C-alpha cells in the first residue's frame, strides 16, 4: 500500500503527540489492509491505550482512508489497463514475428527437401552436365508446383531407359536443364522389355 497521509480534519484538532501517533498507526494499518483492522490485528502494532484512542476517531479515519483507497484503486486500474494494452501489443508483435519465423522455417524446410529430391533425380538422369543450371530450374518447377517430384523422377527414369535401349550417342542426350525447360517429363517413350536381353536374341535367331 502506498504511504498514507494524515487527514487535515484530524490535524486541526488539538491532539496530543500520543493521540496523533495512535491515529497514524491505526490509519496506516487500515490503509494497508484496505479495511478497518480488527482489535487482534491492531494490537500487534499498537498498545491497548493507542487502540482505544484511535477507534474514538474511527469515523474521521474511515472517511479519509476510503478516499485514499479509492484514489489508489483508480490508479491501479489505469496501470492495469495500460499493462494489458501493452501485453496485447507485445503478444501481437510476438505472433506476427512467430508467423514470419514459421514461414521462413517452412521455406527452409521446403528448399532442403527439394535439394534432396534433386539429388535423387540427378542420379537417375542420363546426362550429368550443367548441374547448377538443372538444379535452379528443378527448384523453380517444384516451388511453382508446375510438376510433382514423382513426375520428374518417373520421366527421368523413362528417358534414361529410352536412351539406354536406343544406345543414344551421349552427345545427343539432352542436357538436364534443356529436358526440364522443355517439359520432357511428359514425353512418352516406346520401351522394350527385351531390347538388351541376350536370351531374347538367341531365341529369335533360333527361329530363323
Using alpha carbons, list the distances in angstroms from residue 160 to 4, 14, 84, 153, 189: 90, 111, 65, 11, 10
- What pLDDT is attached to residue 80? 78
- What pLDDT is attached to residue 3? 44
- What pLDDT is attached to residue 16? 83
- What pLDDT is attached to residue 206? 58
CA–CA distance, 118 with 133 (Å, rounded to integer): 12
pLDDT digits (tens, 9 = 90+) for 111-144: 888 899 999 999 999 999 999 999 999 999 988 8
- What pLDDT is attached to residue 199? 54
Residues 6+ apart with CB under 8 A from 128: 122, 176
The domains of the chain are located at 8-88, 125-207
- What pLDDT is attached to residue 144? 86
Using alpha carbons, list the distances in angstroms from residue 187 to 116, 153, 161: 24, 13, 13
Cell numbers 546426362 correspond to what residue?
Answer: 127
- What pLDDT is attached to residue 178? 93
CA–CA distance, 160 with 123 (Å, rounded to integer): 11
Q: Do the Cβ atoms of 41 and 29 come closer than 8 Å?
A: yes
Residues of the chain with pLDDT under 50: 1-4, 12, 106, 194-196, 204
| DSSP-H helix ranges across the chain | 8-11, 17-33, 39-42, 48-56, 58-124, 131-143, 149-166, 176-181, 198-207
- What pLDDT is attached to residue 65? 77
- What pLDDT is attached to residue 195? 46
- What pLDDT is attached to residue 1? 42
User: What does DSSP assign to residue 146?
Assistant: S
CA–CA distance, 79 with 85 (Å, rounded to integer): 10
- What pLDDT is attached to residue 9? 54
Amino acid at each position: 500500500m502506498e504511504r498514507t497521509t494524515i487527514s487535515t480534519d484530524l490535524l486541526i484538532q488539538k491532539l496530543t503527540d500520543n493521540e496523533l501517533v495512535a491515529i497514524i498507526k491505526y490509519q496506516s494499518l487500515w490503509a494497508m489492509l484496505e479495511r478497518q483492522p480488527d482489535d487482534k490485528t491492531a494490537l500487534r502494532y499498537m498498545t491497548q491505550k493507542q487502540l482505544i484512542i484511535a477507534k474514538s476517531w474511527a469515523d474521521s479515519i474511515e472517511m479519509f482512508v476510503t478516499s485514499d483507497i479509492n484514489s489508489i484503486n483508480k490508479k491501479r486500474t489505469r496501470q492495469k489497463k495500460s499493462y494489458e494494452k501493452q501485453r496485447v501489443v507485445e503478444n501481437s508483435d510476438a505472433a506476427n514475428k512467430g508467423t514470419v519465423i514459421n514461414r521462413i522455417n517452412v521455406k527452409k524446410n521446403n528448399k532442403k527437401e527439394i535439394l534432396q529430391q534433386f539429388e535423387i533425380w540427378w542420379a537417375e538422369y542420363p546426362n550429368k552436365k550443367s548441374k547448377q543450371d538443372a538444379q535452379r530450374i528443378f527448384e523453380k518447377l517444384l516451388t511453382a508446383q508446375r510438376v510433382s517430384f514423382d513426375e520428374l523422377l518417373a520421366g527421368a527414369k523413362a528417358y534414361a531407359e529410352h536412351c539406354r535401349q536406343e544406345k543414344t550417342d551421349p552427345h545427343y542426350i539432352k542436357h538436364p536443364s534443356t529436358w526440364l525447360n522443355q517439359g520432357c517429363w511428359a514425353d512418352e517413350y516406346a520401351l522394350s522389355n527385351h531390347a538388351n536381353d541376350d536370351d531374347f536374341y538367341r531365341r529369335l535367331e533360333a527361329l530363323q
